[in-house]
Amino acid sequence: MPFSDKSNSRFNLFSMLAEADSPIVSSSTLTEKLGVSRQAVFKLVLALREEGLEIESIPQKGYMLKSFRESDALSPTLIDYLLREDKIFSKCLYIHQVDSTQQVLKKLAVQDAPEGIIAITEHQTRGRGRQGRDWASPPGRNLYFSILLRPKLAPGEVQLLNLAAGLAVRAALSEEYGVRAELKWPNDVLAGEKKICGILSETAGEPDRVYYAVTGIGVNTNLPREDMSAEIVGTATSVLLETGKLTPRPLLLSQIFTRLSALLEVLTGDNGKQKLLATYRENCATLGKKVRVIEDANEFIGIAEDVTDQGAIIVNIGGEKKIFAAVDVQHLRLI
């Protein structure tokens, strides 16, 4: 299985090149510290290059890693390196092309895979969205990843994971890139009322216990308008469109994980659910807005007032408060 393991030589070689005091690291330093031959070092360098990392061989001198923070390669070694201090997310499983990263992790989840695994891909052939919709997943431009969690939550509380994921993405996009990102209940991150990120959690469990949750996140990152499909071009945006700049995907990924780990730690701590909900209430752009709620064939219009302890939305419809759990809402203008 193509896991990048933090204890393996590839990871160690990468760390040595990334953390070296001088840009070029001699072959003898590498062979000595890794305890392997020159030939083995060369093979490791080739493997890292295959992951898309730029490592130059300088004749008679050694190896030099080009700035990895600017690399857009979805290299599992680079991602593991960027997440090296993360307490929850540590192992990255990279698959070049896959039907859906959700499927990958759901299969691993039933084989007792541990919490914290990330599955990431360049291209999904059957990317899944909420409510059985497709998630447009063209190659090479965006982030498509899923995470495996084994939360101590009741099945009805799994929506809290979506709220945490949305908060993490919103914060990363606004704090690191200046994107005016907003949270639309339940799981969308918008910029200028257009969708920049979608989140989907799928779970298995018993009535009182969750065995696992697989939370999938798709962020439109470097997607230009001309590459957007007809279905999404009117309603989607990307980090590129919002900032005018290309964003290195591994860096954005790590910035999301830093925040998501912190939020999940809050969630599992004392009074965690209430703390997370308080942060969500502060950040959810839907609250206070006039919304249209679409539930099966029915449509309701009202003011979104609050979220319940399980993350469902409370809408005031002509004086009557109605709770909706798994529906779509549209923001409307207050007239």
Q: Does 151 engage in binding with ligand BTN (CB under 6 A)?
A: no
Q: Does 128 engage in binding with ligand BTN (CB under 6 A)?
A: yes
Q: Does 216 engage in binding with ligand BTN (CB under 6 A)?
A: yes
Q: Does 96 engage in binding with ligand BTN (CB under 6 A)?
A: no
Q: Does 166 engage in binding with ligand BTN (CB under 6 A)?
A: no
In the complex, the smallest distance separating the C-beta of residue 241 from ligand BTN, rounded to whole angstroms, is 18
In the complex, the smallest distance separating the C-beta of residue 23 from ligand BTN, rounded to whole angstroms, is 36
Among 127, 151, 186, 250, the residue binding ligand BTN under the rule CB under 6 A is 127
Q: Does 144 engage in binding with ligand BTN (CB under 6 A)?
A: yes
Q: Does 129 engage in binding with ligand BTN (CB under 6 A)?
A: yes
User: How far is residue 325 from each of residues 46, 149, 308, measured CA to CA in Å?
Assistant: 50, 21, 9
CA 134, 136, 140, 146 torsion-angle sign: negative
In the complex, the smallest distance separating the C-beta of residue 166 from ligand BTN, rounded to whole angstroms, is 10
Q: How far is CA 229 from the centre of its chain?
A: 22
In the complex, the smallest distance separating the C-beta of residue 64 from ligand BTN, rounded to whole angstroms, is 34
Give the nearer residue to ligand BTN in terms of CB position, either 101 or 255: 101
Sequence-ordered list of residues with C-beta below 8 angstroms from that of 300, at least 6 positions apart, any chain? 292, 293, 315, 317, 322
Q: What is the x/- site pattern for ligand BTN, positions 97-116, by CB under 6 A?
A: ---xxx--------------
In the complex, the smallest distance separating the C-beta of residue 65 from ligand BTN, rounded to whole angstroms, is 29
Total residues contacting ligand BTN by CB under 6 A comes to 20
Biggest alpha carbon distance in the chain? Answer: 79
Among 75, 124, 162, 220, the residue binding ligand BTN under the rule CB under 6 A is 124
145, 104 in Cβ contact below 8 A? no
3-state secondary structure of 306: strand
Q: Does 139 engage in binding with ligand BTN (CB under 6 A)?
A: no
Conformational region of residue 264, where left means phi above 0, alpha means psi within -120 to 50, and beta covers everything else = alpha
C-alpha triplet 141, 147, 151: angle, nearest 5°: 155
User: How far is residue 139 from each of residues 97, 107, 234, 311, measured CA to CA in Å?
Assistant: 8, 23, 20, 33
The CB-nearest residue to ligand BTN is 198
For the chain, list the strands marked E by DSSP: 3-4, 24-25, 55-58, 62-65, 91-98, 117-124, 143-149, 181-184, 188-191, 194-206, 209-219, 290-295, 298-307, 313-317, 320-324, 328-332
Among 130, 275, 292, 322, the residue binding ligand BTN under the rule CB under 6 A is 130
Q: What is the x/- site pattern for ligand BTN, positions 186-205, by CB under 6 A?
A: --x---------xxx-----
Which residues in this chain contact ligand BTN in the complex, by CB under 6 A? 100-102, 124, 127-130, 133, 135, 144-146, 188, 198-200, 216-218
